[in-house]
Structure 1
């Protein structure tokens, strides 16, 4: 599945350190080298894409940067501070939030309740325990909470389903809910694991437009692992390509498209030529055959 999208907005330029950065990350599992000396930086209000063939090490790098794995060598930084030894919870407290390839939702909670719960996990943890003990549910919220939840529902276009339970939601809506829930924790960096997986073209375009609006309206930086190469190239400010655990290319989408190592290892002619050029070439070959 591939999606044509408008070029991304330019990232905000400043002199601050990257919001999230991997420096020289190496990850070994016994004799297997899953990552070897990988660098990746995510700047302010920047969308960074991570692509590569199956087994290239994308998920491993994601796990290292989010705190699920500690690297064999190398360091991870948030806003210039070394967080290599920090747990996922401590990184979340610093402003890191992530989604997973398969949406992990509470089937009995409504869309709105998911966002209320996520907001309180960041801003009012004591209320969650009190509400559960007193059987009051997740409502009776202060105005600031209602306002924030309403903003998320509006910006991710969830208003029509906000009172529906998560069970039975279409996959596209479930993915938007996961993104909204991650944003309810008010992160500075949002990590997305295969946000278009299982979606059709229309749903993929919807998710892409929502993500660009999130960066624009909420000031969030985004890093995503994604199998849809055209989606990544169409909406990212920078793209990094892994192959057998090694970063073989990194730069703007235009630079990655033209990189010979990328074409040879993964993207090939599918990314080297637009569809129209490929069709014309095929017609010419047919005429000369």
Structure 2
């Protein structure tokens, strides 16, 4: 087994008297695809928000590459090597594909504000280096060559999802967190996205943690699946193990339908 890049241990989170997460623990092996699934309201996005630093857990630990994430402010996640996409696309329609991708590198630029504003030597060199990385690595990896200089406005939905994925990759994250990457896609788009996520893991050093509701995509592309229900982990294992787990069948189908 690959060592865990991310370890979540005994996380509790409550909003008032409502328990959103209860003793949630999971490990994310490096170089693998781990999916978190569960019915609506199971706590999937809440868990992502704890890892991302948007929510503060009342109990538990989150360790990433040996670092205690919960002891750090949310804005440090990107520098630490974590990048996240969101369910709702947030691209800038008046900008090109390449320009939207470049925005993802903002948190990793080293040029000072003064130099960047005047576009002095270091800022110019840094931007040229970023352009080369985008053109030579990120855009080819996701098959965006033909769209590079097009405005994102009016592009197909599945293509916009890939652009958002490219924007998350430009920071060269160790951990890529994908929030419902297949939402709103047709069958062809889902298959393409699934294949590209697997390619990313195979050809780069990125580890993927995702949440989604598309069971066909999840089962065919994931190395490990963790199942949440009412804020608790009810199963974890390979796709085959999870599919055969009685607790998972009951949570998704109901006891009578599973019988």
What TM-score do you get using the length of structure 1 for normalisation? 0.81
Deviations 1:122-166 (A, max 9, x none): 14443x8755556xxx98766643331021111101111111122
Shift of 1:67: 1.0
- Give 3-state SS (helix, strand or coil) of 1:54's partner: coil
Distance 1:206 1:139 in 2: 35
Structure 2 contact 111–126 (Cα < 8 Å) conserved: no
Matched, 1:74 2:60: yes
| 1:129-278 equivalences in 2 (<5 Å) | 130=115, 144-150=129-135, 151-266=137-252
- Give 3-state SS (helix, strand or coil) of 1:88's partner: coil
| 1:30-179 equivalences in 2 (<5 Å) | 30-126=16-112, 130=115, 144-150=129-135, 151-179=137-165
Shift of 1:95: 0.2
Distance 2:253 2:8 in 1: 24
Q: Which runs of 5+ in 1 are unaligned?
A: 1-12, 273-289
Distance 1:198 1:240 in 2: 23
Deviations 1:183-213 (A, max 9, x none): 0011000000000000000000010111011
Between 1:171-180 and 1:83-92, the stretch displaced more is: 83-92
Q: Which runs of 5+ in 2 are unaligned?
A: none
Partner residue, 1:27: 13
Structure 1 contact 21–41 (Cα < 8 Å) conserved: yes
Structure 1 contact 70–85 (Cα < 8 Å) conserved: no
Shift of 1:85: 2.6
The structure that has the greater radius of gyration is 1
CA pair 261-129 structure 1, distance change in 2 beyond 3 A: farther
Partner residue, 1:281: none
Residues matched between the structures, number? 253
CA pair 124-118 structure 1, distance change in 2 beyond 3 A: farther
Structure 2 contact 101–164 (Cα < 8 Å) conserved: no
Shift of 1:218: 1.4
What TM-score do you get using the length of structure 2 for normalisation? 0.90
CA pair 222-268 structure 1, distance change in 2 beyond 3 A: farther
